[in-house]
Structure 1
Amino acid sequence: MSEKSRLDEIKDELETLDINPTIFARKEIHALPDVLSEDEKIVYLIEGRNKLNNNHIILVATERRLIFIDKEFMYGLKVEDFSYDKVSSIQYEKSLMLASVDIHIANNVLEIDNVGKYYAELFCEKVRDFMARPKEYFQNKTEPTVLDQLEQLGRLKESGVLTEEEFTEQKKRLLG
């Protein structure tokens, strides 16, 4: 019996959580194995449109962090992640059919719209639950070391997800 790929494991996690991403999130979902650590579990995931640039993105809440993933043909993969203690607030607003989610991190606000109403509410509840936990909860989780993150960047570059320029930029940021 062959071993499951990380992507298959992630798809199984999403199915268990009753999350059914649309075809528009396919590129971002396929990037998840290169973004998540081997033992990192998804708590919830939503997809929507970034109000700033109108790109389709996914927001992933794991037991360790909040991750924004935007994969576009022209500029490749853009990943931003934040520990829950950096999130000052998260809110959602429902309209007739869809909802929008606003996440306040430091002095920035990430606004996502075209999110399913039910999913937006559930995502915000999950994130608030992690925001309320003490820092010690997250310190007990094994955080990826700089070496782990560099190896992950190398895998992203080798698989063609990152260009040489993007790889160098991210490497400089990590070694900072």
Structure 2
Amino acid sequence: MSEKSRLDEIKEELEKLDINPTIFARKEIRELPEILSKDEKIVYLIEGRNKTTKHHIILVATDRRLIFVDKEFMYGLKVEDFSYDKVSSIQYEKEFMLASIDIHISENVLEIDGVGKYYAELFCEKVRNFMARPKETFQPKSEPTVLDQLEQLGRLKESGVLTEEEFAEQKQKLLEKLK
């Protein structure tokens, strides 16, 4: 899939989520095809200002991780991402027209301000839903054991996908791994 069509996919995804980024987020959104995995889905996206650097950023919650994207003209692209099991807390504080969000990750606090009040609340809610998931959902799946692979071979032989010869050959290879 080309980068252009992936960007179009991302824009459609944002539209379906009823997320309408401002013109100020355009640079960061253009970088998302290179940042997101092919099958990674955006859960929510907000834009704001990094309190430390004063740069305009986007904060993306996906089905896998939390991503900060800062694309500034002078120094290039800065991307930080964190798995949800590393986030210890997320909170927002409403001000007159806008809100700020504090995200506690390990020993750091990332502070974003200039976020719309409604969007800050919704974003925090979405992230908390992922934080509440069991830790195992963020762990990479383990490789199948030799026993699992042998069982799979048996099923393939029984269903006629493998001949007796192919089954014996593959079984022998697996058993040699045990030695």
Count of aligned pairs between the two proteins: 141
Shift of 1:41: 0.2
TM-score, normalised to structure 1, is 0.77
1:135 deviates by 1.5
Q: What residue number does 1:125 align with?
A: 125
Please tell me the residue identity of whatever aligns with 2:63: E
Give the 5 Å matches for 1:149-160.
Answer: none
Q: Please tell me whether the aligned partners of residues 85 and 138 of structure 2 are also in contact (alpha carbons under 8 angstroms).
A: no
CA–CA separation in structure 1 for the residues paired with 2:22 and 2:141 = 31
Provide, for residues 107-141 of structure 1, a one-character-per-residue CA deviation record: whole Å limited to 9, x for no partner. Answer: 11110000000000000000000001012122367
Q: Matched residue of 2:33: which SS?
A: helix
Contact kept? 2:13, 2:42, Cα under 8 Å: yes
Which structure is larger by alpha-carbon Rg, 1 or 2? 2
Q: Contact (CA 8 Å) 2:104, 2:110: kept in 1 or not?
A: yes
RMSD: 1.8
Report the counterpart of residue 59 of structure 1 in structure 2: 59
8 Å contact 2:87–2:131 — kept in the other structure?
yes
Q: Which residue of 2 aligns with 1:85?
A: 85
Q: 1:141 & 1:61 partners in 2: Cα distance?
A: 21
Partner SS state of residue 5, structure 1? helix
Structure 1 residue ranges, 4+ long, deviating more than 2 angstroms after superposition: 138-142
Give the 3-state SS of the residue equivalent to 1:104 in structure 2.
strand
Contact kept? 1:59, 1:67, Cα under 8 Å: yes
Distance in 2, Cα, partners of 1:16 & 1:140 = 29
Residue 4 of structure 1 and its aligned partner are, at CA, apart by: 7.0
Q: Identity of counterpart residues, as a percentage? A: 84
Q: For residues 21 and 4 of structure 1, what CA distance do their matches in structure 2 show?
A: 18
| Separation in structure 2 between the aligned mates of residue 75 and residue 86 of structure 1, nearest angstrom | 27
- The unaligned stretches of length 5 or more in structure 2 are 143-179
**In 1, distance between residues paired with 2:4 and 2:85?**
33
Map of 1:48 onto structure 2: 48
Q: How far off is 1:96 after superposition?
A: 1.1
Contact 2:3–2:33 (Cα < 8 Å) also in 1: no
Unmatched segments (≥5 aa) in structure 1: 143-176
Tell me the SS of whatever aligns to 1:102.
strand
Q: Is the alpha carbon distance of 1:141 and 1:47 closer, same or farther for their aligned partners in structure 2, counting shifts above 3 Å?
A: farther
The 3-state SS of whatever aligns with 2:57 is strand
Matches within 5 A, 1:89-104: 89-104=89-104
Change (3 A) 1:76 1:130: same
Partner of 2:99: helix, strand, or coil? strand
Shift of 1:51: 0.3
1:79 maps to amino acid:
V
Which amino acid is the alignment partner of residue 85 of structure 2?
D
Maintained 8 Å contact 1:64/1:141: no
For residue 123 of structure 1, what is the amino acid of its counterpart? F
Indicate the structure whose relative CO is greater, using CA pairs within 8 Å and at least 6 residues apart. Answer: 1
1:34 is matched with 34
Residue 68 of structure 2 aligns with which residue?
Answer: 68
